[in-house]
């Protein structure tokens, strides 16, 4: 904290605006955490002092305050578990429908709604950067920017394949279907981060018109951006903003995040091979199942945490699953 404040007070601090904004954001986040813990500490001291007065008329108020303190302590403890290198950063959330046609595309749209609800409940700002709709219903894929303190730390537990079991609304015989969707969680990497270096000569940039369902043009001007990173073959698109420059900036942000993820994965696989622990991550190894028929249940297969209130989870009640993952030792240095 002192080092950050010393850097901020430097006369040359704003010579690099991008770096300055990142440092200022980190400093503000740390300052907020310190203030919250100090406030919590003062509340505990005040309550101990009141309890020492042994005034029976205050018992009810003190008992209520203890309940609130326990809830706040649980929240602070949860946040304290988010200590990975990118946990306090903003996140990029990507959802891809799996095999299964319309049912899987509808499932991908349900997941998008679930995460948008969760973000709204936590006062996170969200922007849909890219969206490809399904032919009949749902979506084929989407990329969403989730901005706010610890967005990545919370969401990284969601990375993996999510499975839905239900009676299909798209099957005339109303048979039970199993649908899959892949969720990716990426940290939003600062443009000045030394971890990701991109040579402009390695990029192929295409400009095209944004399109909605059925290929209908939603803008007359060509503002959507497609960037291909030639060495890796990664292709990213962004068609949310009306400004071509904004779409280009967001597309570059997504590209940097994907390149960082590849770099992290390669390093983790090298370490796992050395330890004799490496197993290839396969598409079918779902992390969580959501069952609507023949019974109601959501179960995380990594932690064994489950609930019978499927609708509540689909409405954004994900914190208990995230907390179970962190308590089990899920870290940002491991594959989710």
Q: Which range is least confidently modeled, 19-28, 141-150, 287-296?
A: 19-28
| Judgement on whether residues 30 and 166 belong to the same structural domain of the protein | no
| Judgement on whether residues 69 and 100 belong to the same structural domain of the protein | no
Note whether residue 183 is domain-resident. yes
| Judgement on whether residues 181 and 206 belong to the same structural domain of the protein | no
* Count of domains forming the chain: 3
Note whether residue 14 is domain-resident. yes
Burial class (CB in 10 A: 0-12, 13-18, 19+), 325: buried
The per-residue pLDDT for range 265-313, each reduced to its tens digit, is 877 776 666 656 544 444 567 899 999 988 999 999 999 999 999 999 9
pLDDT band (50, 70, 90) for residue 336: very low
| Judgement on whether residues 96 and 181 belong to the same structural domain of the protein | yes
| Judgement on whether residues 20 and 136 belong to the same structural domain of the protein | no
Backbone angles phi, psi at 166, to 5 degrees: -160, 170
- Rounded-to-integer distance, Cα 182 and Cα 192, Å: 29
State the pLDDT at residue 277.
52
Q: What 3-state DSSP class applies to 143?
A: strand
Note whether residue 268 is domain-resident. yes
- 126: domain CATH number is 3.30.70.1660
The per-residue pLDDT for range 193-243, each reduced to its tens digit, is 677 889 999 999 998 877 654 343 344 467 889 999 999 999 999 987 668
State the pLDDT at residue 289.
96
The per-residue pLDDT for range 89-129, each reduced to its tens digit, is 899 999 999 977 899 999 999 999 999 999 999 999 999 98
| Judgement on whether residues 245 and 306 belong to the same structural domain of the protein | no
Q: Which residue has the tokens 């689909």?
A: 314
Task: Tell me which residue range forms the domain holding 43.
Answer: 2-80
- What would the mean pLDDT of 314-326 be, rounded to a whole number? 94
């Amino acid at each position: 904290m002192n080092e950050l404040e010393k850097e901020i007070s430097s006369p040359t601090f704003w010579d690099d605006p991008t770096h300055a904004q990142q440092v200022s954001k980190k400093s503000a986040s740390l300052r907020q955490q310190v203030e919250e813990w100090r406030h919590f500490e003062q509340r505990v001291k005040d309550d101990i002092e009141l309890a020492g007065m042994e005034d029976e008329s205050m018992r009810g108020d003190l008992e209520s305050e203890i309940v609130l303190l326990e809830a706040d302590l649980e929240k602070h403890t949860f946040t304290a578990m988010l200590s990975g290198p990118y946990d306090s950063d903003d996140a990029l959330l990507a959802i891809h429908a799996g095999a299964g046609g319309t049912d899987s595309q509808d499932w991908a749209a349900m997941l998008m709604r679930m995460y948008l609800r969760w973000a709204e409940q936590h006062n996170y700002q969200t922007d849909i950067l890219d969206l490809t709709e399904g032919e009949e219903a749902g979506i084929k894929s989407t990329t969403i920017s989730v901005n706010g303190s610890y967005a990545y730390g919370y969401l990284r537990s969601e990375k993996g394949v999510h499975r839905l079991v239900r009676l299909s609304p798209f099957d005339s015989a109303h048979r039970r279907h199993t649908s899959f969707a892949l969720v990716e969680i990426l940290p939003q990497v600062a443009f000045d981060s030394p971890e990701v270096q991109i040579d402009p000569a390695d990029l192929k940039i295409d400009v095209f018109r944004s399109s909605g369902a059925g290929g209908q043009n939603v803008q007359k001007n060509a503002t959507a951006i497609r960037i291909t990173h030639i060495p890796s073959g990664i292709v990213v698109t962004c068609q949310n903003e009306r400004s071509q420059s904004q779409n280009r900036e967001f597309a570059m942000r997504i590209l940097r995040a994907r390149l960082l993820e590849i770099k992290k994965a390669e390093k983790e696989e090298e370490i796992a091979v050395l330890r004799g622990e490496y197993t290839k991550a396969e598409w079918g190894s779902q992390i969580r199942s959501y069952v609507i028929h023949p019974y109601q249940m959501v179960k995380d297969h990594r932690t064994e945490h489950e609930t019978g209130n499927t609708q509540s989870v689909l409405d954004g009640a994900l914190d208990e699953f995230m907390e179970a993952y962190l308590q089990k030792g899920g870290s940002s240095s491991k594959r989710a």
